[in-house]
């Protein structure tokens, strides 16, 4: 067995572990029963502080001042700041969407991140979109319309509409796709630092809004333990695993495993709190995931493995 094959299998196992680890995230968000801005504050501040601490520890243990300086400079470069802002926007929109709408529609739309990455590659890097990309965009658009049209039939969903969830999910997907492109433009950007700082800023946004609302909810309202499981355990561990996986296997493989979050995330929420999408939303999600799977597999055949 060659070293390359071992690395590939190790990367696949890491990607599978990270993807499975993140699937119950939305369930714990539901179980926290927190108002949206309070949940955003706790989730963002916990994850942000922990990731930044891990990044700082890694830099200290490496004892390489030149590398530390390069990573800090990259983080505050134009691309680095842009990637941080993408993380901020993605984190706030994802949390708002989950709190205000059904989990299924948010997860279906956020799965479109690879499509947005291709679109932003066209805009930022002038990379032409393939025929497969255009077909996938059209099919995903049709699937999302079908899913949104069935938004009123989701059992036990929050009071918000499926359209709110779709907009939030697409915003998060676009932010994630743009961050992929920005990271390609500067490979020195530290992923722990970028995601840690972006998550911390998202938490600060949630905190600022929560405390500014007259007679608003208390910052200790809801179940802090449940949201802490998400912010301190699920997100950091899954992030580290998925990030490490991209160093050992093709990023497209990681994208395919991430579809598990769309499927299992909705399943855990249904099992835990009884939130269940209607048949047409499930069919719309199947169209989106099927189209994206074919698109990514097609890309893997035409792109050398990293």
Q: What is the 3-state secondary structure (H, E, C) of 13-34?
A: HHHHHHHHHHCCHHHHHHHHCC
d(CA 233, CA 298): 34
Which CA distances in Å does 26 have to 4, 21, 287? 35, 11, 22
* pLDDT value of residue 305: 44
**Is the pLDDT confidence value at 185 over 70?**
yes
Q: Is the separation of the CB atoms in 110 and 265 below 8 Å?
A: no
CA distance 224 to 34: 8
Quickly tell me which residue has 């108002």 as its tokens: 35
Of the pLDDT bands very low, low, confident and very high (cuts 50, 70, 90), residue 187 is: confident
Where do the DSSP E strands lie in the chain? none
pLDDT of amino acid 256: 81
* Residue spans per domain, the chain: 20-302
Residues 43, 68: Cα–Cα separation, whole Å: 27
Q: What percent of the chain has pLDDT over 90?
A: 66
> What phi, psi does 80 have (nearest 5°)?
-65, -45
> In the structure, what pLDDT confidence band is assigned to residue 3 with cuts at 50, 70 and 90?
low
Give the span between the Cα atoms of 203 and 254, in whole angstroms: 27
Dihedral sign, CA of 28, 34, 37, 41? negative
* Model confidence at 257: pLDDT above 90: no
Strand ranges in 101-250 using DSSP code E only, listed in sequence order: none
Residue 171 pLDDT greater than 50, yes or no: yes
- Binned at pLDDT 50, 70 and 90, residue 205 comes out as very high
Q: pTM of the predicted model, to two decimals? A: 0.91
Q: Which residues partner with 126 through β-bridges?
A: none
């Amino acid at each position: 067995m060659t070293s390359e094959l071992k690395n590939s299998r190790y990367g696949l196992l890491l990607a599978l572990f990270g993807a499975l680890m993140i699937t119950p995230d939305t369930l714990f968000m539901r179980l926290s029963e927190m108002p949206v801005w309070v949940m955003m504050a706790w989730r963002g501040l916990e994850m942000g502080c922990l990731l930044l601490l891990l990044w700082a520890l890694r830099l200290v243990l490496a004892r390489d001042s030149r590398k530390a300086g390069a990573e800090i400079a990259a983080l505050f470069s134009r691309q680095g700041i842009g990637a941080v802002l993408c993380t901020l926007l993605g984190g706030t929109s994802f949390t708002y969407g989950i709190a205000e709408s059904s989990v299924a529609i948010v997860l279906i739309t956020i799965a479109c991140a690879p499509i947005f990455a291709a679109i932003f590659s066209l805009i930022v890097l002038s990379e032409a979109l393939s025929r497969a990309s255009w077909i996938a965009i059209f099919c995903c658009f049709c699937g999302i319309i079908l899913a949104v049209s069935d938004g009123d039939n989701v059992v036990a969903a929050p009071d918000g509409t499926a359209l709110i969830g779709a907009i939030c999910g697409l915003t998060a997907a676009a932010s994630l796709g743009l961050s992929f492109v920005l990271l390609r433009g500067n490979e020195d950007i530290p992923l722990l630092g970028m995601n840690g700082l972006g998550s911390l800023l998202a938490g600060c946004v949630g905190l600022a809004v929560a405390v500014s609302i007259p007679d608003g909810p208390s910052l200790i309202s809801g179940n802090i333990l449940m949201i802490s499981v998400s912010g301190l355990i699920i997100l950091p561990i899954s992030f580290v695993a998925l990030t490490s996986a991209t160093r050992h296997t093709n990023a497209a493989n990681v994208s395919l495993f991430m579809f598990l979050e769309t499927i299992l995330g909705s399943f855990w929420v249904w099992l835990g709190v009884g939130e269940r999408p209607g048949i047409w939303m499930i069919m719309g999600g199947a169209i989106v995931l099927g189209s994206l799977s074919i698109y990514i597999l097609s890309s893997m055949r035409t792109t050398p493995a990293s």
